[in-house]
Structure 1
């Protein structure tokens, strides 16, 4: 009777405690369930792997580097070749450079020389280190019709030789070798320099390209020796040594007018600095050299570029203030075809082509007169000047085409 009337002391407190514990238990279960949902979402149980793939591939490179730490599934996805290749197709082309900079680097700066153990850390530079000043790696980013200099917080002694798919080929100072590196992921690997030293730096050139046949990136070293013979050696990234191959025929190459350009399955060089009527190309899979006649004689401000997925040539027409854009679509006897004509004014007559955007809607030019950059818009057929952010101590050049990607030489490709 007392129990039914609730006359036991503490009976009301006991019921309150039970209700409170039940609410607490429900909260614990709800939180646990939410964590399970989040975990399963990461594992792809609630979202298909294709759906997660399509979302992540649209994100910028910095976000992807952070998201790769969310879970093992996302790490494996983001670091797979299929994802890196799909992300690469969406990346826009920019420009990258390694320039000396007098400012002291921030604490998060990566020194390639220090990581490889090629020098010791010192606050006060020695006489030997002054000769090979540390260059700071940065790239250009176009924002609202302005060019912003984005520092990558990476330093090394030397210069950039070539770029390919977001990888850079860097020659270190003091004959320390060459480095293949992805500046965004900071993965790098070191190799020795070419086995044959040229007469001068102007008489050698490095090319860098992916071989679909072998599924490897290849570094190609062309050089002119003391007998004026053009030699060639190739290093497949992942191997340990250079190997010699037959170079171009005697007399085809005299000087290198610009850096090598990779397009349509081959590396291409302009073998002279003035009035050259052909280019020298190497099939990256077959490792054989041949020549391609040019539609017009190569002049000082003309340039080879990769354009619309093909080999492009931008020439200054004999008619004042006119440039022609030519396209070569294959290596097997295809003729050059003129795709476009650009009319410019007298103020920007000294423009030199630098690179084209990935979708080839725009072409970037550098003015050798005022050091400014100009962009030609194909859709509106207009040339506009791009203001560049000024920073003290920057030399601004030379720049090479570059894309911010997750590509690595370690991921095998499907052949």
Structure 2
């Protein structure tokens, strides 16, 4: 039957820029599948502008890394805010690229190919969705070999052309004096850089300001380069047991450490820091590979009983510390490098966190979203969600279900997996 008066509408036209904007909200797993739709979509999704736009949106929903017995997984912070007693099926880690674990068969085969002699990994840090992995093994003559790999869990790509770094310990007991590492992005050259650093402890000298050795490896180079030594001593070299709370943090093309100056002891222990003026933030500009020192908030006027901590929260440098063994204080540097921009975000009484004042708490703020914060108590490795407005505390309890062998792993009290949690965001970023 004919319909002479029927109107025929032309096909809907969606501008390319609108298509790109819609796609940038999707997960990496979905986007990678959509590459096959057409050549134009493949070109669009592969373009650096789209990759950056997707990263900007993905950064609004960060994950934290969780160390498992057989690898790593990643859980969105917002899931913990929605349900602190969260149960997760381990199968999801294998099926969803955003939660890909090293026990994925395909990934495991890749690692077996490039890591024939290494079976332990440490997440150094993540930057723009790329995770720097480091393995350490004994070498001949009491030496140690560090090898590095950059891994994008979302795209399942592993970059292994970073070579090795060696450290020859004077004796076996000095293995802890080997290198520590940091990872960041140089905005000027658009290159990722790995920073290796160590502090020399010389017991043959009466006093020392701390000698240090700092090296940089730029992706695309073939060797490590020595750069200027630290002008001050990074605090994560002091009291090594809790050093992970003050690992280096990357922000805006810089690597930052909480540090101490005017330190006149041969060996480094926190108890030897006697004046609050000794604390400083040392910042390494990845472009110029030079240092500058940033002052701490003016309201920080007494050496706390436990190490203060720096973190990057809400894209700003933050500083937290104990106050008179009774409160947890967090400051934010609103404008990076401007000392006057330090602003106190909150002060929480330990009683509100349901903590016993008899202990020295090593609190670290892991995440902030409006009135809700996730705080780690380093004393017992317990993480909690705390509402700043109504002062409600909820303990985080994670259960990992492995459906293959029906094993339930409960991550609750006294579990150091939270202690080593790192930020991670999904991305399409590649280093090749």
TM-score using structure 2 length: 0.68
Gap change, CA 1:408 and 1:337, over 3 Å in 2: same
Decide whether the 8 Å contact of 2:124 with 2:133 is kept in 1: yes
- Deviation of 1:370 after TM superposition, in Å, equals 5.1
Decide whether the 8 Å contact of 1:323 with 1:343 is kept in 2: yes
1:306 aligns with 2:312: yes
Of 53, 61, 76 in structure 2, the residue corresponding to residue 86 of structure 1 is: 53
Q: Corresponding residue for 2:75?
A: 140
1:95 aligns with 2:64: yes
User: How many Å separate the matches in 2 of 1:251 and 1:61?
Assistant: 40
1:206 aligns with 2:173: no
- Deviation of 1:284 after TM superposition, in Å, equals 1.8
Gap change, CA 1:385 and 1:211, over 3 Å in 2: same
Decide whether the 8 Å contact of 2:309 with 2:319 is kept in 1: yes
1:399 aligns with 2:421: yes
User: How many Å separate the matches in 2 of 1:284 and 1:383?
Assistant: 40
Decide whether the 8 Å contact of 1:267 with 1:282 is kept in 2: yes
Decide whether the 8 Å contact of 1:280 with 1:289 is kept in 2: yes
User: How many Å separate the matches in 2 of 1:382 and 1:222?
Assistant: 41
1:170-194 deviation line (CA, Å, top 9, x unaligned): 0124336100111111122221233
Of 40, 53, 57 in structure 2, the residue corresponding to residue 73 of structure 1 is: 40
Decide whether the 8 Å contact of 2:159 with 2:431 is kept in 1: no
SS in 2 for 1:85: helix
Decide whether the 8 Å contact of 1:248 with 1:290 is kept in 2: no
Alignment of 1:382-393 (within 5 A): 382-390=392-400, 391-392=408-409
Q: Corresponding residue for 1:339?
A: 345
Q: Corresponding residue for 1:11?
A: none
Decide whether the 8 Å contact of 1:373 with 1:388 is kept in 2: no
User: How many Å separate the matches in 2 of 1:383 and 1:65?
Assistant: 40
Q: Corresponding residue for 1:353?
A: 364
User: How many Å separate the matches in 2 of 1:405 and 1:238?
Assistant: 21
- Deviation of 1:298 after TM superposition, in Å, equals 6.0
Q: Corresponding residue for 1:57?
A: 24
Gap change, CA 1:203 and 1:362, over 3 Å in 2: farther
Q: Corresponding residue for 2:220?
A: 238
Alignment of 1:264-413 (within 5 A): 264-271=252-259, 274=270, 275=273, 277-295=279-297, 296=300, 297=303, 300=306, 302-318=308-324, 320=326, 322-328=327-333, 329-331=335-337, 333-334=339-340, 336-345=342-351, 347-348=354-355, 350=361, 352-356=363-367, 362-368=372-378, 371-377=381-387, 382-390=392-400, 391-392=408-409, 396-397=417-418, 398-410=420-432
Decide whether the 8 Å contact of 1:208 with 1:217 is kept in 2: yes
Point out the more displaced range, 72-81 or 162-171. 72-81
1:192 aligns with 2:192: no
- Deviation of 1:344 after TM superposition, in Å, equals 4.3
User: How many Å separate the matches in 2 of 1:201 and 1:192?
Assistant: 22
Decide whether the 8 Å contact of 1:353 with 1:363 is kept in 2: no
User: How many Å separate the matches in 1 of 2:178 and 2:373?
Assistant: 29
Gap change, CA 1:379 and 1:197, over 3 Å in 2: farther
Gap change, CA 1:356 and 1:250, over 3 Å in 2: closer
TM-score using structure 1 length: 0.70
Gap change, CA 1:347 and 1:176, over 3 Å in 2: same
User: How many Å separate the matches in 2 of 1:163 and 1:361?
Assistant: 26
1:219-261 deviation line (CA, Å, top 9, x unaligned): 1111124655211111112222211111213667653732111
- Deviation of 1:299 after TM superposition, in Å, equals 5.3
User: How many Å separate the matches in 1 of 2:295 and 2:248?
Assistant: 17
Matched length? 335
User: How many Å separate the matches in 1 of 2:328 and 2:50?
Assistant: 38
Gap change, CA 1:280 and 1:376, over 3 Å in 2: same
- Deviation of 1:96 after TM superposition, in Å, equals 1.0
SS in 1 for 2:354: helix
User: How many Å separate the matches in 1 of 2:338 and 2:127?
Assistant: 23
- Deviation of 1:263 after TM superposition, in Å, equals 2.0
Point out the more displaced range, 208-217 or 258-267. 258-267
Decide whether the 8 Å contact of 1:351 with 1:365 is kept in 2: no
Decide whether the 8 Å contact of 2:280 with 2:294 is kept in 1: yes
Point out the more displaced range, 255-264 or 190-199. 190-199
Q: Corresponding residue for 1:165?
A: 128
User: How many Å separate the matches in 2 of 1:407 and 1:299?
Assistant: 41
Q: Who wins on radius of gyration, i.e. which is larger?
A: 1
User: How many Å separate the matches in 2 of 1:90 and 1:176?
Assistant: 34
SS in 2 for 1:347: coil
Q: CA RMSD in A?
A: 3.3
